[in-house]
Amino acid sequence: MLFLDFEDGIAALEAELAEYRHGGGGEEEARLKARIDRQIDALYARLTPWQTVQVARHPERPAAREIVRALGGGFIALAGDRRGADSRGVVGGIARLRDHGVVLIGHDRDPGDDAAALRKTARMLRLADRFRLPAVLVAGGAYADPDALGACLDAALDLRVPLVAVVSGALAGPGAALPLAADTVLMLEHACLSAATPEEAATAFWPPGGDAARTLAAAAESLGLTARALAAQGLVDAVVAEPAGGAHRHPRAAAGAIAAAVLARLDAARLVEGGLLRAKRRERLAGFGRA
């Protein structure tokens, strides 16, 4: 387990716990384990926005393709963007999520070629529409290609089937607009979503030469990028609670929580007529930022 900078105290206790286990454990091991659990609970209950960014970027946090494969049974992967390319940074296909046939799409943290990744995503969305299957997008990737991103947003907004987006990690840049084009936006508790990274905001709006750690903390705070902050603004519909200590500590439990939240939304959305879904989706997106 990779410990983050603000988890030094927990890392020290975990090292001590490993020594007890090597020596046979016993009651002291159980007491130390309970102490670690209490510290993790207390620490993660009061994460700062910058600490949240670090958690969302944790390399052991479940990747989108892991979440996609955990969500649906009988997953059949599909390849290609219909222009002779296939982005390895996007996993997509057809699966069954309880009693729903769905199209699942997941973006890796580093999607590679922006245009190919977005074309493949748009193709999967059109496929969902053609076969009248709900679409679930586990969003990620710092997409910046304006033409490809615009075409992908158009495909999302034109859907006459439900589209549920899940933000599971750290998503920043123009590509952050893509999940917001969904009917429902779900966000893991310690994920983050913003138009710019804290590093970019710090470079653009803070004078050079200051304390780097304080500047990044202030930039993250100003961006309002946490799930709770975005939900308070109405940009996120539901915050999905993470297991104690974050999704990187318990990826299977995190995937289960996402599946339950997605199912609840699909059960409600499939009762809405396709034309109304499309109209409400466009109205929702147009309303962002209004006073």
Model pLDDT for residues 165-196, shown as the tens digit of each residue: 999 999 999 989 999 999 999 999 999 999 99
- If asked whether residues 17 and 145 sit together in one domain, one would say no
- Spatial separation of the C-alpha atoms in residues 118 and 221, rounded to whole Å: 30
- If asked whether residues 202 and 217 sit together in one domain, one would say yes
Residue that is written with structure tokens 């710090």 in the block: 202
- If asked whether residues 221 and 271 sit together in one domain, one would say yes
pTM over 0.85: yes
- If asked whether residues 142 and 198 sit together in one domain, one would say yes
- If asked whether residues 147 and 9 sit together in one domain, one would say no
- If asked whether residues 132 and 18 sit together in one domain, one would say no
Averaged pLDDT for residues 138-164: 90
Q: Give 8's pLDDT tier (boundaries 50, 70, 90).
A: very high
pLDDT digits (tens, 9 = 90+) for 254-289: 989 999 999 999 888 878 899 999 999 999 888 886
- Spatial separation of the C-alpha atoms in residues 70 and 156, rounded to whole Å: 23
The total domain count for the chain is 2
- If asked whether residues 204 and 132 sit together in one domain, one would say yes
Q: Give 138's pLDDT tier (boundaries 50, 70, 90).
A: very high
> Residue 84 above 70 pLDDT?
no
pLDDT digits (tens, 9 = 90+) for 141-152: 777 788 999 999
Q: What is the average pLDDT value for the chain, to the nearest integer?
A: 90
- If asked whether residues 151 and 83 sit together in one domain, one would say yes
Residues 6+ apart with CB under 8 A from 39: 9, 10, 13
Averaged pLDDT for residues 194-211: 93
Which of these ranges, 69-78, 170-179, 240-249, has the smallest mean pLDDT? 69-78
Residues 6+ apart with CB under 8 A from 186: 164, 165, 166, 167, 236, 237, 238, 239, 240, 258, 261, 262, 265
Q: Give 19's pLDDT tier (boundaries 50, 70, 90).
A: confident
Asked whether 90 and 121 are in contact (CB, 8 A), the reply is yes
pLDDT for the residue numbered 99: 82
- Choose from 12-21, 50-59, 99-108, 250-259 the range with maximum mean pLDDT: 50-59
pLDDT for the residue numbered 156: 96
pLDDT for the residue numbered 111: 63
- If asked whether residues 226 and 277 sit together in one domain, one would say yes
> Residue 110 above 80 pLDDT?
no
- If asked whether residues 41 and 62 sit together in one domain, one would say no
- If asked whether residues 42 and 75 sit together in one domain, one would say no
- Torsion angle of the four alpha carbons 246, 9, 12, 53, in this order, in degrees rounded to the nearest 10: 40
- Domain span including residue 221: 52-287
- If asked whether residues 190 and 112 sit together in one domain, one would say yes
